[in-house]
Amino acid sequence: MNAMSAEPTLREVIARLGKAIDALEEAVSARVEDERDSEEAEAEVQRLNADRARLAQELDSSEAKAERLSDTNKEVSRRLVTAMETIRAVLDR
């Protein structure tokens, strides 16, 4: 057995190189897919944050409207009591 027979043949080297290139391409594809997924996740987080901000603004607006309605309700109630007292006073005369 000479030294040449222990060395890999050119075909074996090319086959191993091909397998290595295939593995590298798969790794690169997986990395690109991971980055795409990461970018999509970041975009979704940004959409969720925008929705959260919009909903918080709507909630603040609704709370302000509810407070105005409550104040108006109290004023109407006060006026009704005053009107009823006035009517009673007129009827009692």
pLDDT in tens, 75-91: 999 999 999 999 999 99
pLDDT in tens, 24-71: 999 999 999 999 999 999 999 999 999 999 999 999 999 999 999 999
How sure is the predictor about 4, in pLDDT bands with cuts at 50, 70 and 90?
low
Whole-model pTM over 0.85 = no
Contact 8, 16 (CB under 8 A): yes
36 φ/ψ angles, rounded to the nearest 5 degrees? -65, -45
